[in-house]
């Protein structure tokens, strides 16, 4: 019986040792997991800060582009205002068209590539495309009027 009690006591001590080792191993694993999680959080914070920096740079670039766009629009508006034809009351010889339209297109003017319009297309789309191309090319109202007729084909012409 004594041998059985000793074996039982030894078994109990072995179980306590195993439990203690298990607790130590669990603590070690928790510490590793926590360290890994902290490292991951640090990396994520760095990525978030980098993203915020890039976003701020893009916001600043966008604001600069908006300002430049506004300045260009103002410049184009001033330019088109200066190039407008004189009113009918100030002309000596009133005609159906502006005197500027009667004048030839300047030799240095480069005609933009504009698709021709036929009656099967959308007129609004053609007109919008034509205006955009003429604005980009820096043409005056007189040149626009003169060139618009040349964008028609067949029955539309």
Domain match, 65 and 6 both:
yes
144 touches 134 (CB < 8 A): yes
Domain match, 72 and 106 both:
no
Cα–Cα separations (whole angstroms), residue 57 to 70, 135, 155 = 20, 31, 53
Domain match, 110 and 71 both:
no
Domain match, 73 and 104 both:
no
Find the mean pLDDT for residues 16-32: 95
Domain that holds residue 146: 98-151
Domain match, 67 and 144 both:
no
Domain match, 5 and 35 both:
yes
Instruction: Answer yes or no: is 22 within a domain.
Output: yes
Tally of structural domains, the chain? 2
Give me the long-range contacts of 83-86 (CB less than 8 A, separation at least 24).
83/140, 83/141, 83/142, 84/141, 85/141, 85/142
Span 86-114, pLDDT tens digits: 544 444 555 556 666 777 777 777 777 77
Instruction: Answer yes or no: is 25 within a domain.
Output: yes
Predicted TM-score (pTM) of the model is 0.36
Instruction: Answer yes or no: is 43 within a domain.
Output: yes
């Amino acid at each position: 019986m004594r041998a059985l009690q000793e074996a039982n006591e030894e078994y109990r001590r072995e179980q306590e040792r195993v439990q203690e080792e298990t607790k130590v191993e669990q603590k070690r694993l928790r510490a590793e997991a926590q360290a890994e999680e902290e490292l991951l959080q640090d990396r994520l914070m760095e990525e978030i800060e980098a993203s915020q920096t890039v976003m701020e740079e893009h916001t600043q670039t966008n604001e600069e582009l908006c300002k430049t766009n506004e300045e260009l629009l103002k410049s184009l508006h001033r330019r088109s205002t200066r190039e407008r034809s004189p009113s009918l009351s100030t002309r000596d010889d009133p005609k159906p068209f502006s005197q500027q339209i009667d004048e030839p297109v300047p030799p240095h003017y480069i005609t933009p590539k504009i698709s021709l319009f036929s009656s099967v297309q959308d007129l609004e789309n053609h007109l919008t495309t034509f205006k955009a191309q003429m604005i980009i090319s820096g043409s005056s109202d007189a040149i626009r009027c003169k060139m618009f007729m040349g964008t028609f084909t067949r029955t539309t012409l």
